[in-house]
Amino acid sequence: MPGAMAMPRPRDECQYSRPLEARFDACPTFHPVRYVPLNTQFQPLQPVLACRHMEVGLRTDRPGRAYYCRCAVGDAPARERLGRQIGEQRTKLMQEVADRLMEVVAAHWESLGLAKGRELAAIGAFDRSDATREVAAIADLVAREMRELIDGPLQAQVDELGVKPEALVAVIEAGVRDFEANGFAGWTPPDELLGQLPADVAAFLRPPRATPAA
């Protein structure tokens, strides 16, 4: 309606244009994840770079159901506070490690998506069992290549962060097992795994959750 006042945006809304670009670093708490959507025939579409902290928010100040992309960390000041607590140098180091690990997923995204799609589309138990074994094999390959990065090219960065390699490998293994069960749905490490990591690394992987803003 002409002259109507625009409703203010939620304070915890993600303020960045999407899809995000590769090597996105504008947000101090950005944690890259690669999401592979499937179409209605369970075929993989082009992967999308997203952030682990992105959630679907519901606006309560509008009639009906109005959704928006919210940040689990909170509003811009909350993201800036967490960024300052972690520090720019360690944030960049963590993002470097995360980027390299995500490159492994990027290299296998098509085979992962196709295998998972065949599993979801399978009608008979035999076909589903065969597809499930294929998903497990590719997931194991991804986990193995990530472990090789941690024990090799990323060893210096992991050591500098004060992370025990076996603790990071445990997070990766748990994420891979979750993918086998649930596909590309969102996943965050549980407390028992985060407790084995330095506090700022744990906060990078799963920051304290903020109360949704109206």
- Residues 56-71: tens digit of each pLDDT: 888 877 776 788 999 9
Mean residue pLDDT across the chain: 84
How many CB atoms lie under 10 A from the CB of residue 47? Answer: 20
Q: Is the pLDDT of residue 25 over 90?
A: no
Please say whether the beta carbons of 93 and 161 come within 8 A. Answer: yes
DSSP run (H or E) holding 33: strand 32-35
Task: Please tell me the distance from the alpha carbon of residue 68 to that of residue 50, in angstroms, as a whole number.
Answer: 15
Q: At what angle do helices 125-151 and 88-121 cross, to 10 degrees?
A: 160
Q: Is the pLDDT of residue 207 over 80?
A: no
pLDDT value at residue 211: 64
pLDDT value at residue 91: 87
| Type of residue numbered 66 | A
Which residues share a beta bridge with 68?
57
pLDDT value at residue 210: 62
Find where tokens 């809304």 sit.
Answer: 13
Rounded to an integer, the average pLDDT of 49-55 is 85
Question: Residues of 178-193 as b/e, b for ≥16 C-beta within 10 angstroms?
Answer: bbbeebbeebbbeeeb
Distances from the Cα of 201 to the Cα of 83, 195, 207, angstroms: 12, 10, 9
- Closest by CA to 51, choosing from 74, 78, 24, 75, is 24
- Closest by CA to 205, choosing from 213, 49, 104, 190, is 190
Q: What is the dihedral sign for C-alpha 161, 167, 171, 172?
A: positive
Residue that wins the pLDDT comparison between 54 and 154: 154
Task: Please tell me the distance from the alpha carbon of residue 119 to that of residue 132, in angstroms, as a whole number.
Answer: 6
pLDDT value at residue 153: 96
- Closest by CA to 86, choosing from 34, 33, 30, 32, is 30
pLDDT value at residue 184: 66
Please say whether the beta carbons of 191 and 203 come within 8 A. Answer: no
